[in-house]
Amino acid sequence: MQKKIHQGHNIKRFREMLGIKQDALAADLGDDWNQQKISLLEQKETIDAPLLQQVAEALKLPVEAIKNFDEDQAINIISNTVNNNDNANGNTLFSYYPTINPIEKWLEALEENKKLYERMIKEKDDMIYTLQAMLENMKK
C-alpha cells in the first residue's frame, strides 16, 4: 500500500526550507489570504489542483514537488545511498564533490529577485511621491 502524501505538510516543509513566513506567502497569494488561512492550508491533506498550482507558483516550485514529496522515502533513499560509499567493485561511489551547492545558488537567486522587487517598489513609491508633489504645485 502506498503512503498518502500530505500536501499541506509538504507546502509547510518547502515554505520553511525557503525561509518564507506564512504572512509572506499569504501576501503572494492575494488580498483574501492571511497567516491564519496559510496555517489552515498547511493542515489539509489534499488541496484542490488550482490552489495547489497557485501555491507552487508563489513558492517558485513545480507543483509535482508538493504533490509527490515523501519525506520518509527521501530519507530512505539518502540513507541507502549516501552512507554506502562503496560499490560492488570496492571503488568509491562518490569521487567528485562539487564546490558549488545548487540549492545555495538557487537561494541566492531568490534573494536577488527579492532585492530587485524591493527596489522596484521603492522606485514606484518615489514616482508616486514626485507626482503628488507636482500635483500640489499645480494647484497653487
Q: Note the pLDDT tens digit of each residue in 110-131.
A: 888 888 889 999 999 999 999 9
> How many Å apart are CA 22 and CA 11, to the nearest integer?
10
pTM: 0.53
Q: What is the CATH number of domain 7-82?
A: 1.10.260.40
- So what's the pLDDT on residue 49? 94
DSSP alpha helix (H) spans, 18-101: 22-29, 35-41, 49-59, 63-68, 71-81
- For residue 107, is pLDDT > 90? no
Q: Kindly state the DSSP code that residue 5 receives in the 8-state scheme.
A: P
Q: Note the pLDDT tens digit of each residue in 4-32.
A: 888 999 999 889 988 999 999 999 999 99
- So what's the pLDDT on residue 87? 47
- So what's the pLDDT on residue 76? 61
Residue ranges covered by each domain of the chain: 7-82, 99-139
